[in-house]
Structure 1
Amino acid sequence: MGLCLGKQTEGGDSEENVKFSGGNVHLITSKESWDQKLVEASGDGKIVIANFSATWCGPCKTMAPFYRELSEKYPSVVFLLIDVEELTELSTSWEVKATPTFFILRDGQQVDKHVGANKSELEKRITAIIDSTTQRQN
C-alpha cells in the first residue's frame, strides 16, 4: 500500500492540481468551498468522498486517474480533491497524517476512512457505503 508521510521533493505549483482533478472531481481551494460542498451534498442526501492528496506524492499521482474514473462511475457520489499543501488547516483539522487519505462522509460526518493507494480497497469501501445508504432509503 503506497502512501506519503511527508514532502519528499521541492516544487510543484498548484497548476499540477489540474492533473488530479477532472471527471466529476471537484477541486476544493478554500474552507468556504469545502463547507459549501458538504452542505450541498447533505441537502441532496449524497455521500462525499474527500481525497486529501499532494501533487508531489507518487501514490497520489497513481490514484488520480482512478479517482477520476470512480467519479464518473458513481455519479450519485460527490468526489472532492483537497491539496494538503494548499489547505493545511483543513488537512490538520481532519488529522491527515499521510497522503493519499480518503474520507467517506455522510451528512458531513466521517463514516469511513482509507489511507494509501490501494485502488480495489477504496472502491470496495465506496460501494459498501453506497449499498448501505441504498438499503437505509428502502
Structure 2
Amino acid sequence: MGHCCTTGRGHDVDDDDEEDHHLEIAGGNVHLITTMANWEAKLSESIKDDKIVVVNFSAPWCVPCKKIAPDYIEIADKYPSIICLTVDVDELPEFSNSWGIKATPTFFFLKEGRQVDKLIGANKLELERKAAAATNLSTKTCN
C-alpha cells in the first residue's frame, strides 16, 4: 500500500508490537480509525458538530509518519474545533486505495465530508498552516 515519503523499515512489524506501533502514529486527541464503522461514526460526528476533519493516512513502519505524529497530536490539542483521525493504510487498504493514497503520510482536510485541502508528506509548517486555515473555514460558517 503506497510508499513512504522516505525510506522506512518496511513491513516487518510483529503482530505483538502492533498496538505499540499504533501509539507511534496516533494518540492524545488523534483518533485511530481501524474499521469502517469507526470512520462513519467520526464523519457523522464532524458533520453534526460542524467540525473540520483532518485525516492522516499513515503507516507504523513509515519513518516520516512517526516523525510527524507528535506534531499532528500537538495540532489536535491546539485546535479543538478539528477532529484529527489517523488511518493505518495497512489496516484499511481498500479504504486507503479509495482515497488514492500513493504515499504516506497523506493528510486530507474535510468539511461536511468533502475534501477542502490535502498535504502529502511530513511537512510540519505546512500541516500547521493548513490546520489553521481549516479552523478559519469552520469559524466562518458559524458567524
Report the residue type matching 2:4 in the other structure. Answer: C
Q: Which AA in structure 2 matches 1:96?
A: I
1:85 match: secondary structure:
coil
Aligned length: 136
**1:65 deviation in Å?**
0.7
The answer to whether the aligner puts 1:48 opposite 2:48 as a matched pair is no
Query: Percent identity of the aligned residues?
Result: 50
Within 5 Å, give how 1:1-138 maps onto structure 2. 4=4, 9-12=10-13, 13=15, 14-15=18-19, 16-138=21-143
* TM-score relative to the length of structure 2: 0.89
Structure 2: unaligned runs, 5 residues or longer: none
* Structure 1 pair 7–31 and aligned structure 2 pair: CA distance change class (3 A): farther
Q: Which amino acid aligns with 1:30?
A: T
TM-score (norm 1): 0.92
CA-to-aligned-CA distance 1:84-127 (integer Å, 9 cap, x gap): 01100110011111000000001111110000011000110111
Q: What stretches of structure 1 move > 2 A for 4+ residues in a row?
A: 5-8
Provide Cα deviations, 1:44-98, integer angstroms capped at 9, x if missing partner.
Answer: 1000000000111111010011111111111111000100011001100111110
Distance 1:29 1:72 in 2: 21
Q: Deviation of residue 11 (structure 1)? A: 1.5
CA RMSD of aligned residues (A): 1.6
